[in-house]
Structure formats: structure tokens, C-alpha cells
């Protein structure tokens, strides 16, 4: 299996930053998170060599394995569905958890999080039963119950081929963040990150677009 080429990854990263700027975002302010669920641990060195500094994993055990294999190479965020029993395990390795949305996770954060721990609360704006997230109507109460600092919000809109279909969800997340005085917005993936940036994203989660050769 061909290994990642750091030259190609660097070119992809530069192109992403140019598109962020074209969408009205400041490339120095909008963070590009490399979603590395499908990147082998052996290829993470190529990402670091290419200038990637922020990585995200969907799976707790893989995040721990990859972080330990490349100590200091990246800041790590957890971006997947979080089981409460995994909270204690990942906390020493992550900068942010993007997917806090259950009271059981809040309980584990209360028990194990350091005073400086920051999280993002995941909001389910589509109402899809298959998606995790706090309902908008329940967000205020959830924020009050959170035992650590909430730095912002995250959402996943319904899958759609047209990036514009994601815009209403990104707009609504930004509005909710403004109401609650939250700064960080994790929204937008490979196919719709430009729209997310236009609507105020501060973190975009990009996978296949970054590692394409």
C-alpha cells in the first residue's frame, strides 16, 4: 500500500487554506483539523512533515494509539461518538472533545477532567434519530450542567451532495453560539467546509481532501 506523500499533503493543505480565504475566513483563525480515522499510524509522520498540526480521531482507542505513536507531533481532538467509559482514557491525550452531548459523559467529566479541560457540545439540528447531539431546546440546560468549560458547539448536518444544503444548519449553530456567548464552531467537512467558513466555522474537519494524492 502506497504511503502518504508529504509534498502532496502540503499542497492540499495550502489549497484548503486558499479556499478558506476565498470563503471569507482568515486562514490564521480557521483551524484545519485533519480527520485521520482512515489514516494509518505509519502515515501520520507524513502529515506532520507536511505542516499539519491538529488531528482528530473518531475512535477512542485509535486516538490513544496514534497519539502515543507520535508524541508531540499534533494537538489531538476527539471528534466521534463518545462512550462515557472512554472519557477518562482520552482526557490525557486531547485538546478538545467535540462530541459532548450526554449526561453520562458530563458525569465522567466531573469525575476525571482537569480544571483547564475544554469541550464542545454537539447539537443535533436536523432532529435525525441516527445522529447524536443535544436538541436546541435543551441546550441551555445542558450547558448549565456541564462541569467543565464549554468553548463552543459542533454539529453534523444531514448528508447531501449540494454543500448549500448544509448552510441552514451552520447558520443555526452560529446563532445558538452567539446566544450563549460561545466562540468556537466545529462545522464543515471535506464537501461543505467552504459554506461552513462563510457561516462562521472556526474549526473545519477535513479527511479525504487533505490526504488525496
3-class DSSP string for the chain:
CCCCCHHHHHHHHHHHHHHHHHCCCCCCCCEEEEECCCCCHHHHHHHHHCCCCEEEECCHHHHHHHHHHCCCCCEEEECCCCCHHHHHHHHHHCCEEEEECCHHHHHHHHHHCCCCCEEEEEECCCCCCCCCCECHHHHHHHHHHCCCEEEEEECCCCCCCCHHHHHHHHHHHHHHHHHCCCCEEECCCCCCHHHHHHCCCCEEEECHHHHCC
User: Binning pLDDT at 50, 70 and 90, where does residue 169 land?
Assistant: very high
The residue range of the domain holding 171 is 6-211
Classify residue 85: in a domain, yes or no.
yes
pLDDT band (50, 70, 90) for residue 113: very high
Return mean pLDDT, the chain: 96
Let me know if residue 49 belongs to a domain: yes
Report whether pLDDT(1) > 90.
Answer: no
| 1 within some domain | no
How high is the pLDDT of residue 98?
A: 98
User: In which band, very low, low, confident or very high, does the pLDDT at 2 lie, cut at 50, 70 and 90?
Assistant: low
Q: Over range 160-173, report the average pLDDT.
A: 96
Per-residue model confidence (pLDDT) at position 130: 83
Q: Is residue 131 part of a domain?
A: yes
Q: What is the CATH number of the domain that holds 147?
A: 3.20.20.10
Q: Flag whether pLDDT at 134 surpasses 80.
A: yes
64, part of any domain: yes
Residue 81 maps to a domain:
yes
Mean local confidence (pLDDT), 149-172: 96
Task: Please determine, for residue 203, whether its predicted confidence score (pLDDT) is greater than 60.
Answer: yes
Asked, for residue 128, whether it belongs to a domain, the answer is yes
Number of domains within the chain: 1
pLDDT per residue as tens digits for the range 141-159: 999 999 999 999 999 999 9
Residue range 25-83, pLDDT digits in tens: 999 999 999 999 999 999 999 999 999 999 999 999 999 999 999 999 999 999 999 99
Q: Name the pTM for this structure.
A: 0.95
Amino acid at each position: 500500500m502506497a504511503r502518504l506523500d508529504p509534498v502532496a499533503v502540503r499542497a492540499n493543505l495550502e489549497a484548503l487554506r486558499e479556499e478558506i480565504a476565498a470563503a471569507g475566513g482568515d486562514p490564521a483563525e480557521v483551524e484545519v483539523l485533519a480527520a485521520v480515522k482512515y489514516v494509518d499510524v505509519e502515515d501520520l509522520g507524513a502529515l506532520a512533515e507536511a505542516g499539519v498540526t491538529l488531528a482528530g480521531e473518531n475512535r477512542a482507542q485509535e486516538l490513544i494509539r496514534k497519539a502515543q505513536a507520535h508524541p508531540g507531533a499534533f494537538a489531538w481532538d476527539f471528534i466521534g461518538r463518545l462512550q462515557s467509559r472512554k472519557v477518562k482514557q482520552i482526557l490525557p491525550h486531547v485538546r478538545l472533545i467535540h462530541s459532548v452531548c450526554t449526561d453520562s459523559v458530563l458525569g465522567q467529566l466531573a469525575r476525571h477532567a482537569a480544571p483547564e479541560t475544554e469541550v464542545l457540545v454537539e447539537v443535533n439540528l436536523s432532529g435525525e434519530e441516527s445522529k447524536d447531539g443535544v436538541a436546541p431546546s435543551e441546550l441551555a440546560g445542558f450547558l448549565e450542567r456541564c462541569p467543565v468549560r464549554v468553548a463552543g458547539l459542533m454539529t453534523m448536518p444531514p448528508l447531501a451532495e449540494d454543500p448549500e444544503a448544509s448552510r441552514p444548519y451552520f447558520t443555526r449553530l452560529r446563532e445558538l453560539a452567539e446566544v450563549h456567548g460561545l466562540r468556537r464552531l466545529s462545522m464543515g467537512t471535506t464537501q461543505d467546509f467552504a459554506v461552513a467558513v462563510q457561516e462562521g466555522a472556526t474549526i473545519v474537519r477535513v479527511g479525504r481532501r487533505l490526504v488525496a494524492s
